[in-house]
Amino acid sequence: MIKSLHKRESALANSKRQLEILSNGIFQYGDLPTFKNKIAETGQFPLKAKKLEILQINVGYMCNQVCAHCHVDAGPDRKEIMSKETMEQCLEVIKNTEAHTLDLTGGAPEMNPNFRWFVEEAAKVGIKDFIVRSNLTIIKANKKYHDLPEFFKKYNIHVVSSMPHWTRGKTDKQRGEGVFNTSIEALKMLNSVGYGMPNSPLRLDLVYNPSGAFLPGNQASMEMDFKKALKEDFDIQFHNLFAITNLPISRFLDYLIASENYEDYMYELVEAYNPAAVENVMCTNTLSVSWDGYLYDCDFNQMLELPINGKTKHISEYNETLLEGRDIVISQHCYGCTAGAGSSCQGTVA
């Protein structure tokens, strides 16, 4: 198992170093336009937050996996976990927000010792779409997680899970040896309680992200390929596939630099820039809360430690009205959200 950038004490574990790389070189000398200048060409700068629709809460960076391209730099060695006190502050906001979607992420959110309590409390509020981003293997990682499918079902959780490919080789290469087989077993467990079945209200969606320095293909045709292969090979069903572009931050940035693909990848992202995708990038209707309660425009900005541009900085001083209309904090990593059909936690946006 590889180690997180933090554990390896890599220079890239420092978000400032990542931001320097994203601002220097090809962007500093004008070979490529900065994201700010690019969106200004079509009158889309500054990027403004609209009405909040999705509240995304990161309950900790601890994970049972150490995927090669993880933008969180998550792993078993990460100890940042949301406290019960911060969860209580989040619950106050969940009760009062007009957002229709609550999205719990990590790391592996299930590894937070207060995860189940938090889900039970948050579910009482009755938010329309309650998402948990589960990496699948956690369900099989330890006996205490084996009942997660039943637990998710009890609270009508919408499960969203990464599955980079329908073949063992490509999945294990990105997510670690043995991840494919364990993910298949976990998907079968989810299917067996009703998740992902046609017409079932128990939503099971999968997330695809490319295994190298290239952009995802067409989301709809990939969904068909995934559905066909998983049904034929394993009798597994799911609802939708979200195709996500890897953003050049954290472990994917480390991979791009180590494989000498960084500049080519940035050229590819800029060439695929789609102004129509800018309108719907997820930061315009989403707010991200970190494990220690700070507010960010998105999970990527959270990992780059780019705090929100607003009067309220922490969940304890949350004010939805003050956050609406704020200027979104951007940098060159944002090109990952606007390439081709665009990319967000919910897949393509344009």
Shortest distance (Å) from residue 75 CB to ligand SF4? 6
8-16, 20-28, 223-231, 326-334 -> range binding ligand SF4 (CB under 6 A): 326-334
Whole-angstrom Cα distance, residue 288 to residue 168? 32
Tokens 């500049």 correspond to 263
23-31, 50-58, 280-288, 313-321 -> range binding ligand SF4 (CB under 6 A): 280-288
Q: Return the closest-CA partner of residue 126 out of 89, 98, 150, 147.
A: 98
157 binds ligand SF4 (CB under 6 A): no
Shortest distance (Å) from residue 307 CB to ligand SF4? 12
Tokens 């890897």 correspond to 246
Asked if residues 327 and 309 have their Cβ atoms less than 8 Å apart, the reply is yes
* Tokens, residue 36: 């700010």
Shortest distance (Å) from residue 21 CB to ligand SF4? 15
Whole-angstrom Cα distance, residue 334 to residue 319? 25
Maximum Cα–Cα distance across the chain: 56
Of 88 and 170, the one with the shorter C-beta distance to ligand SF4 is 170
149 binds ligand SF4 (CB under 6 A): no
Angstrom CA distances, 49 to 37, 118, 263, 288, 308, stand at 19, 27, 30, 12, 11
Among 39, 49, 70, 132, binds ligand SF4 (CB under 6 A): 70
Asked if residues 158 and 129 have their Cβ atoms less than 8 Å apart, the reply is yes
88-96, 163-171, 295-303, 311-319 -> range binding ligand SF4 (CB under 6 A): 295-303
Of 281 and 295, the one with the shorter C-beta distance to ligand SF4 is 281
Q: What is the DSSP letter of 81?
A: B
148 binds ligand SF4 (CB under 6 A): no
Using DSSP bridges, classify how beta strands 241-243 and 204-208 pair: parallel, antiparallel or unpaired: parallel
Whole-angstrom Cα distance, residue 324 to residue 49? 6
52 binds ligand SF4 (CB under 6 A): no
* Tokens, residue 145: 């997680």
25-33, 142-150, 267-275, 281-289 -> range binding ligand SF4 (CB under 6 A): 281-289
298 binds ligand SF4 (CB under 6 A): yes
Among 32, 55, 57, 66, binds ligand SF4 (CB under 6 A): 66
Whole-angstrom Cα distance, residue 167 to residue 230? 9
283 binds ligand SF4 (CB under 6 A): yes
65 binds ligand SF4 (CB under 6 A): yes
Q: What is the DSSP letter of 163?
A: -
Shortest distance (Å) from residue 77 CB to ligand SF4? 11
152 binds ligand SF4 (CB under 6 A): no
Among 5, 55, 78, 106, binds ligand SF4 (CB under 6 A): 106
Shortest distance (Å) from residue 232 CB to ligand SF4? 26
Whole-angstrom Cα distance, residue 336 to residue 36? 14
Of 96 and 102, the one with the shorter C-beta distance to ligand SF4 is 102
Whole-angstrom Cα distance, residue 247 to residue 203? 26
Of 88 and 185, the one with the shorter C-beta distance to ligand SF4 is 185
Tell me if the bond preceding 275 is cis, omega within 30° of 0.
no
Of 93 and 328, the one with the shorter C-beta distance to ligand SF4 is 328
Angstrom CA distances, 198 to 129, 149, 195, stand at 18, 17, 9
Shortest distance (Å) from residue 47 CB to ligand SF4? 7
Residues that bind ligand SF4 (CB under 6 A): 63, 65-67, 70, 72, 74-75, 106-108, 135, 162, 281-283, 297-298, 300-301, 328, 330, 333-334, 337
